[in-house]
Structure 1
Amino acid sequence: MPPVTAPPRPAVHVAPVRRTGSHRRTPGWWRDAVGFTAWMSLLVVVALWVANRGVQNADTLPGLATSLGRLAGLLSADLLLLQVLLMARIPWVERGFGQDALVRTHRLVGFTSFHLLLAHIVLIVVGYAADAHTGLPAQAWSLVTTYPGMLLATAATVLLVMVVVTSVRAARRRLRYESWHLLHLYAYLGVGLALPHEIWTGADFTASPLAAGYWWSVYAAAAGAVLVFRIFLPGLRNLRHRLVVDQVVVEADGVVSVYLRGRQLARLQASAGQFFVWRFLDGPGCSRGKPYSLSAAPRRDRLRITARDLGPGSRRLATLSVGTRVVFEGPYGRMTAAVRRTRKVTLIASGIGITPLRALLEEMTYAPGEAVLIYRARGERDLLFRPELDMLAARRGVRIVYLCGHRIPGRDSWLPAQYAGFADNNVLREIVPDIAGHDVFVCGPDGWTAAVVRAARAAGVPHSQLHSERFSW
């Protein structure tokens, strides 16, 4: 097997940086509580439908179609509101799930809600047409033009179709993150436009004080979460901390670091491993937010982010002027020291994925020999922060393994080509023989991260000790 580590460096332990974030472990029951609440809400919706004669009204074919259409619409509306709550940046939900799990859950809930919406439309039109003995197009036109709130509901449906279409993987590849994010804001408008139809023509919304109380409570919770956690709290934080660009440093070809200074940054309770959504007020396009992780442990008066040139949004960082005002949302993400379960840690990074792991390596507590960093890159010139990493190795006793080279052709592996003759998990065990007793933090491209996670699981690392966040959208 090719050599996998450099000669050992002198390990001189120094105290870690002073923490500014919160390192309390997130209770595992938070995630379970969110899931239980979601399932209970769906159960309540079905119970309210049954209480409003949902089953009894299905004694004829038109009645069956109409009644099932009502149920599909109710479940679709409930899931749509749950989707809003999932992405409202509620701290307990954020810390319970983490960014990648939230995105996957949000996508699953969103597509399920949309499919139920389509079923609601089709079944209602079929049921009404069968009952009135009219054609489907004529009945659909009658519903849209004569029933209260239906024009607004139609507009809401069009907006939701646009959001769903741009969420399909093939469409996402053609869109910049900023454009995709802006289009998805129309989902909030779609939710709002659907409300009049649900109140004016949805008998299940007003069938009883219990039904009305439930639906108004869920709508109020969704609207309140967005107002508090997406508007009020970020606004308050920006007024308090007043972030500005302090320095711009070119780290490598196409890679730039931006240092930010502000007031009372300890009150942000940001931790290494987390990310923010940033807006730099430097001209056109400043309203478009872009997520970047902290690339250094947060200080009481300074933060640092690092990005690779992957498009106009990241390219403009190199042109920022000192003193440029910065608007931010966050901190977000749960890949922090708070999720650690063991004394030893292994951090595995690829490319620009080194940014949150470099910050974690600086902030975490560990003794000499208890931390390993495996850094994968195409070549020596692509290794970011090498002087900083080598300094951490010398001062804190971190063992660093640099794996450089092109990918193994025709194989879904996290290793460079010189390891083509070896199994992914065996190389991982060769580098870190006691890997099963480590917490393993992984950050890199989606496919590469999945390959590392598979190798770690095959090497005996329990699922609870594997931590990764894939910042896909």
Structure 2
Amino acid sequence: MTTLEAPAPPTPPTPTPSLRPKAVARTGLYALLAANAAVVAGLFAAAGFDDNALILLGRLTGLYGALIMAFQLVLVARLPWLDRRIGMDRLTSWHRWTGFGLLWTLLAHAVFITYGYAQAENLPVVTQFAELATTVDGVLRAIVALLLIMMVGAVSVRAARRRLAYETWHFIHLYTYLAVVLAFGHQLAAGRTFAGSPFARAYWWTLWGLALGSVVLGRFLLPLWRNLRHRFRVTAVVPESDSVVSVYITGRHLDRLPARAGQFFLWRFLAKDRWWQANPFSLSAAPDGRSLRLTAKALGPGSAGLRHIQPGTRVFAEGPYGAFTTMHQRTPNAVLVAGGVGVTPVRALLEDMAGHVVVLYRVRAHGDAVLFGELAQLAHARGAVLHLLTGPNDAQSEHGPLLGAANLAALVPDIRSRDVFVCGPPPMTDAVLRGLRELDVPRDQIHAERFSLAS
């Protein structure tokens, strides 16, 4: 283990915000969902209860399925206000789990409606299903939408997701938008609440308009506007080692780009053989208003090909994304824990972080320590402490596992009074989080970045 330490210069304490941005955004989302759930319940009641119990359950699950589908669109719209406060990794996780909830809700809707009408008409279930599909306007569209959602759900199961290239999974996931359009068409044609009152029609049109509008804004219009405004272009490609390369990017009016240290972009390099690939890479230096830098290790075809990009190549960048920033710092001092490619946002954060900082950099061997020279220089310049923790995954210190609770407490005795920012491979991140829980570090002082994307 290597430790570099410099005397800490006096730094003004970071004011603790009275309201946590993450808590505000999360509470706002929950309140919005609860308010809409209450409105849907009111619309359901206003439509009357003259059907049998199964049909009523089918109607109710259909209405809540529509609400969940609209909520899902908001979660993956990549709206800057939400993303900066909650983070794409957490929003993606919520999107995934509500997706499975949506699938079961829509399946329940189909089953209850079919069995309910079969009971009312005294017909076999299969006959009733065929009759609904062929005679009721909008039902066939709903069946196609459900089949598309089932297909997307199947490829989103972890076992299937790992076997697919991201581009393939993303292409299949785009069928969700077709399912949304078909489901809304079914609701227009057969939805009882649409025919119930002008208020119901206005509500559903507004809900779907805002949900789809948020996707168009966050996923298409905002990235297009930013790229037209900034005109990103590669200025230099610098090998950092045999397997690591840094790409420097400049553009117009970068001082107006709302990027912060710790965030990442989806980079699309507009070269002949790469324009169709979008890869997520974090900024490896704090934005200075003049240029951006990303640093990547050759872990796959996308990152390995970066060293062959020519200066002058145009870049289409989506972002910035991520909540791994000083916006969420709660205490005057901090601990930054990095491993693997997680060192890139940590290196940028070290430039931007206020107060006294301790950096724990976990690698298998000293030669794997990407950007270590820069980290050491930054640590010395700002009076931070830098610990390089080396060894195999099961390496032990005199206090136990390198990233276990005892060693964390030995390296940072006042860790309970600091914010802790963790970014690295999932096993490393999980080990650190376990250690922090054992040390009773307050949850609102723990910030972990997990790289994950949704369609």
User: Shorter-chain TM-score: what band?
Assistant: over 0.9
Identical positions, percent = 44
CA contact (8 A) 2:6 2:384 kept: no
* Alpha-carbon distance between aligned partners in 2 of 1:468 and 1:214, rounded to the nearest angstrom: 38
Deviations 1:18-39 (A, max 9, x none): xxxxxx9737423211111112
1:322 aligned partner: 311
Q: Does 1:256 align with 2:249?
A: no
Alignment equivalent of 1:57, drawn from 1, 25, 50: 50
Describe the shift of the 1:64–1:25 C-alpha distance in structure 2 as closer, same or farther (beyond 3 A).
closer
Alignment equivalent of 2:393, drawn from 407, 430, 440: 407
TM-score (norm 1): 0.89
Q: Does 1:457 align with 2:437?
A: yes
Residue 429 (structure 1) shift: 0.4
* Alpha-carbon distance between aligned partners in 2 of 1:362 and 1:215, rounded to the nearest angstrom: 47
Residue 316 (structure 1) shift: 2.2
1:71 is paired with a residue of what secondary structure?
helix
Equivalence map 1:13-412=2 (5 Å): 26=21, 28-53=23-48, 56-58=49-51, 63-366=52-355, 370-408=356-394
State which drifts further: 142-151 or 159-168.
142-151
Deviations 1:23-61 (A, max 9, x none): x973742321111111221121122111111xx335xxx
2:71 partner letter: L
CA contact (8 A) 2:22 2:86 kept: no
Deviations 1:259-311 (A, max 9, x none): 11111111112000011111111124523322111111112121011222222
Residue 204 (structure 1) shift: 2.1
CA contact (8 A) 1:64 1:127 kept: yes
Describe the shift of the 1:318–1:236 C-alpha distance in structure 2 as closer, same or farther (beyond 3 A).
same
Residue 9 (structure 1) shift: 4.5
2:413 aligned partner: 433
Residue 359 (structure 1) shift: 0.3
Describe the shift of the 1:124–1:10 C-alpha distance in structure 2 as closer, same or farther (beyond 3 A).
closer
* Alpha-carbon distance between aligned partners in 2 of 1:237 and 1:14, rounded to the nearest angstrom: 38
Describe the shift of the 1:392–1:114 C-alpha distance in structure 2 as closer, same or farther (beyond 3 A).
same
CA contact (8 A) 1:99 1:469 kept: no
1:272 partner letter: A
* Alpha-carbon distance between aligned partners in 1 of 2:139 and 2:281, rounded to the nearest angstrom: 41
* Alpha-carbon distance between aligned partners in 2 of 1:455 and 1:10, rounded to the nearest angstrom: 26
2:345 partner letter: P
Describe the shift of the 1:197–1:9 C-alpha distance in structure 2 as closer, same or farther (beyond 3 A).
closer
2:406 partner letter: N
1:301 partner letter: R
1:270 is paired with a residue of what secondary structure?
coil
Residue 100 (structure 1) shift: 2.3
CA contact (8 A) 1:14 1:396 kept: no
1:472 partner letter: S
Unaligned residue ranges in structure 1 (runs of 5+): 17-23, 409-415
* Alpha-carbon distance between aligned partners in 1 of 2:276 and 2:398, rounded to the nearest angstrom: 45
1:157 partner letter: L
TM-score (norm 2): 0.93
Describe the shift of the 1:469–1:357 C-alpha distance in structure 2 as closer, same or farther (beyond 3 A).
same
1:321 is paired with a residue of what secondary structure?
coil
Deviations 1:153-206 (A, max 9, x none): 222222212211111110111122232223222211210122221111111233
* Alpha-carbon distance between aligned partners in 1 of 2:115 and 2:23, rounded to the nearest angstrom: 46
Residue 12 (structure 1) shift: 7.8
2:15 aligned partner: none
* Alpha-carbon distance between aligned partners in 2 of 1:25 and 1:116, rounded to the nearest angstrom: 33
State which drifts further: 307-316 or 189-198.
307-316
2:387 partner letter: V
RMSD (CA atoms): 2.1
* Alpha-carbon distance between aligned partners in 2 of 1:421 and 1:83, rounded to the nearest angstrom: 43
Unaligned residue ranges in structure 2 (runs of 5+): 13-18
CA contact (8 A) 2:142 2:182 kept: yes
CA contact (8 A) 1:13 1:395 kept: no
CA contact (8 A) 1:278 1:326 kept: yes
Alignment equivalent of 2:424, drawn from 430, 444, 447: 444
CA contact (8 A) 1:348 1:375 kept: yes
